Amino acid sequence: MLMQILKDVAVVSGISTLLAVVLIIAQKYLSDYGICKINLNKKRDVSVEGGSSLLNSLAEEQIFLPSACGGRGSCGTCKCKVNSGGGPLLPTEKPFLSKTELADNVRLACQVKVKSDMEINVPESIFNIRRFQAKVHEIIDYTYDIKGITLKLVSPDTIDFQAGQFVQIESQAYAKIKQKVVRAYSISSKPQDNDRIQLIIRLVPEGICTTWIHKYLEEGSDVTFTGPYGDFYIRDTEADIIFVAGGSGKAPMKSMLEDLQVKGTTRKMTYFFGARTAKDLYLTDEMRSFEQVFSDFKYEPVLSKPAPEDKWKGKTGFVMPYFQDAIRDPKNTEAYLCGSPGMINAVKKSLIAMGVPDDKIYYDSFG
Amino acid sequence: MEISSFVLFWAAIFTSNILLTNFLGMCSYLSVSKEIESSFGLGVAVAFVLTITSGLNWIVYHLILVPLGLVYLQFIVFIIVIAAFVQLLELLVERYTPALYYTLGIFLPLITVNCAIFGVSLFMVIRDYSFVQSMAFGAGSGIGWLLAILMLAGIRAKLKERLVPIGLQGAGISLIITGIMALAFIGFSGIVNVQ
């Protein structure tokens, strides 16, 4: 009986091992693409081991393209221009690329494999992106489901970013969750405090990363992130500004306003903050205090469904109907929006209807 | 079993089509039959893998499992062989024919879990086929599967412009179509019977 069991195990393991060995040998010879040279923006060459995805190969060279899904081809943010050596377009990339992008050789870096020398174009700003080790310095409860997390940088110990940009946090395994995920959050502190960043994070029910941040991070915990990413920052003009944020979308606005406070500005600015009830409001006094700082700034919280106990006397409903009073000259107005895709679409539509130019509406949308 | 390999090949395509008489390999059949182009790609990949794995599994079964008296391990061993072969094939195709890889490559992992492949290996054992018969039966079954998925994809392409009751859209109507196709294929069954 025992012999029989041993024999079974031996045969199955033997066959498996044999096949595994064949596969390993095949992999070694077949997937060896040697060292491939990737030319970036016709300026810089990096040499990488061929065979893995362009996204990962670049990350190994400390060049970080933004990627919210961690390379699974589901977010479409790791776009870059592949001029040569990318091979044909894959069915997995098609849904994420517009017609102009297709014509422009734009690809998803997580799907393109490095198999030969390549020539690619990436935005200059990504060379500034680094991977940071940091420690949690402070956690503030803003509302029942929104926390402000301050991270003190360990290495590198300073960060150079523009107010409004975001970073990507890498969550660690916790409790029953084994997988590590990467999620993007806007920086809410000002760029002048370059040894730390603050993030404002709302707890998403069942969210892997936000649950980790809300329930498992404490002061002193280690956090790894990459950044800064994004082109959501205040354009240096004299146009009037209208800010619209919802929920944790207050983060980039806080950074922008604090940055403007340091730099000084006389631009006319109105900030609409949309929330459901009074218990979703936070940092109200801080935002109001900017009305004293700037010559022409107004903070307008708007509650969509104020609870009876809120005794809310301010503005209610959607934010859009209140824009009319805030916009003097639509052609000379810039809009900065941050919130859910639904809110951004609605706000964008109403701004365009009022005559604000499409290319002056900047936004940072999160799902 | 005394049946010529040639007959077996044709029989596997028409009279005992692996999909339309045994209803094996349904998952990828239903999910990849939306477009003719991709269903053709998957079908060709299935046919190729079926032919080779039925030969490989015949060798493993008759030269390893039978002599050692371990026939009852056939399920687990067949699956391992199929999985390893598909993996190897993916590596080879990716390296030497990149163009083919981009059209077929994404389907290969799907094939590992295609029950038609496993089913053919089991039939070959139950029906006691010889090596050549097994290969013929594998190739025939693969082509039969390709034929079935191509037909469904063709019908579904026509169906796109037609109104289908909401409750039947997608898998529902596909299964009804498959049933009718299976009925039609019964018409072939008088020619030769290998079941």
Assigned domain for B31 exists: yes
Which residues are CB-neighbours of A125 under 8 A, at least 6 positions away? A231
Residue A8 CA to its chain's centroid (Å) = 52
Which residue in this structure is represented by tokens 């081991």? A49
**Interatomic CA distance for residues A257 and A269, integer angstroms:** 10
CATH of A240-365, one of 3.40.50.80, 3.40.50.720, 1.10.8.50, 1.10.220.10: 3.40.50.80
Chain A contact present for B163, CB below 8 A: no
Q: How many residues does chain B have?
A: 195
- Tell me if B68 and A12 make a contact (CB, 8 A cut-off): no
Tokens found for residue A78: 């790791």
- Overall domain count for chain B: 1
Q: Where are the domains of chain A?
A: 35-126, 129-229, 240-365
User: Residue B34 carries which DSSP code?
Assistant: T
Cβ count within 10 A of residue B68: 13
Count CB pairs under 8 A between chains A and B: 52
**Residue type for A267, please?**
R
pLDDT, position A88 = 81
Residues of A in contact with B73 (CB under 8 A): 8, 11-12
Q: A258 and A281 in contact (C-beta within 8 Å)?
A: no
Give me the residues of chain B with pLDDT under 50, please: none
Asked if A146 and A282 count as a contact pair (C-beta separation under 8 A), the reply is yes
Q: What are phi and psi of A273, to 5 degrees?
A: -120, 120
For helices B131-159 and B171-186, what crossing angle results, to 10°? 130
Chain B interface includes A12 (CB < 8 A): yes
Indicate the CATH number for domain A129-229. Answer: 2.40.30.10
What residues in A contact B92, CB-CB < 8 Å?
26, 30
Residues of B in contact with A11 (CB under 8 A): 64-65, 68, 70, 73, 77
Q: Considering the domain boundaries, does residue B185 fall inside one?
A: yes
Whole-angstrom Cα distance, residue A46 to residue A209? Answer: 32
Token readout for B54 is 């039925």
Q: Is residue B37 part of a domain?
A: yes
Q: What is the pLDDT of residue A366?
A: 67
Spatial separation of the C-alpha atoms in residues A61 and A40, rounded to whole Å = 12
Decide if A184 contacts A167 (C-beta within 8 A): yes
- Domain range for residue B113? 5-190
A7 and chain B: CB distance < 8 Å anywhere? yes
Contact B84 A88 (CB under 8 A): no
Residue A19 to residue B80, Cβ atoms within 8 A: yes
Separation between Cα atoms, residue A144 and residue A124, nearest integer Å: 40
pLDDT at A159: 92
The answer to whether A30 contacts B87, with C-beta atoms less than 8 Å apart, is no
Note whether B179 and B2 are within 8 A (CB).
no
Alpha-carbon distances of B120 from B80, B111, B140, rounded to whole Å: 15, 13, 10
Q: How far is CA B71 from CA A270, B55, B75, in A?
A: 78, 17, 9
Q: Does A102 touch chain B (CB under 8 A)?
A: no
Pairing of the two strands A79-84 and A35-40: unpaired
Interface contact B73, partner A, CB < 8 A: yes
What stretch of H or E contains A83? strand A79-84
**pTM (2 decimals)?**
0.60
- The parts of chain A modelled with pLDDT lower than 70 are 366-367
Partner residue opposite B77 with nearest CB, options A15, A23, A115: A15
Q: What is the CA radius of gyration of chain A?
A: 25
A201 backbone dihedrals φ, ψ, rounded to 5°: -130, 125
Residue contact A15–B81, C-beta within 8 A = yes
Assign residue A188 a region (left: φ > 0; alpha: ψ between -120 and 50; beta: otherwise).
Answer: alpha
* B81 lies in some domain: yes
Return the amino acid letter for B183: L
What would the two tokens of residue A200 be? 């404002």
Peptide bond into A308 cis (omega under 30): no
Cα distance between residue A62 and residue B49, in whole Å:
41
Query: A105 CA to chain B: closest CA distance, Å?
Result: 17
Is B95 part of the contact surface with chain A (CB cutoff 8 Å)?
yes
Q: How many C-beta atoms surround the C-beta of residue A6 within 10 A?
A: 10
- List the structure tokens of A290: 């900017």
**B27 near A CB under 8 A:** no
Q: Looking at the complex, report in whole angstroms how far the Cα of residue A18 sits from the nearest Cα belonging to chain B.
A: 10
Chain B residue whose CA is closest to A30? B95
Q: Which of B60, B64, B88 sits opposite A22 (nearest CB)?
A: B88
**CATH fold of A35-126, please?**
Ubiquitin-like (UB roll) (3.10.20)
Tell me which residue in A15, A30, A115 faces B91 most closely, judged by beta carbons.
Answer: A30
Structure tokens at B181: 């196709």
Whether residue B83 lies inside any domain: the answer is yes
* Interface contact flag, A30 B94, Cβ < 8 Å: yes
Q: Where are the alpha helices (DSSP H) in chain B?
A: 5-13, 26-31, 36-60, 66-68, 74-96, 98-104, 108-112, 115-126, 131-159, 171-186
Q: Please tell me which of the candidates A12, A30, A92 has its beta carbon nearest to residue B77.
A: A12
**Region of residue B128 (left: phi > 0; alpha: psi -120 to 50; beta: else):** left
Helices (H), chain A: 2-30, 54-60, 99-103, 208-211, 250-263, 284-293, 323-326, 341-354
pLDDT per position as a tens digit, A168-216: 998 888 888 887 788 889 999 999 999 999 999 999 888 888 999 999 9
Residue B147 lies in a domain: yes
- B195 in a structural domain: no
Domain presence at residue B91: yes
User: Tokens 């870059």, residue?
Assistant: A80
State the nearest Cα–Cα gap between B17 and chain A, in angstroms: 30
> Tokens at residue A115, please?
């198999």
Task: Compare all CA atoms of chain B with the CA of A15 and give the residue at the minimum distance.
Answer: B77
Q: Kindly list the residues from chain A whose CB atom is less than 8 angstroms away from the CB atom of residue B65.
A: 11
Q: By C-alpha distance, which of B3, B21, B185, B37 is closest to B119?
A: B21
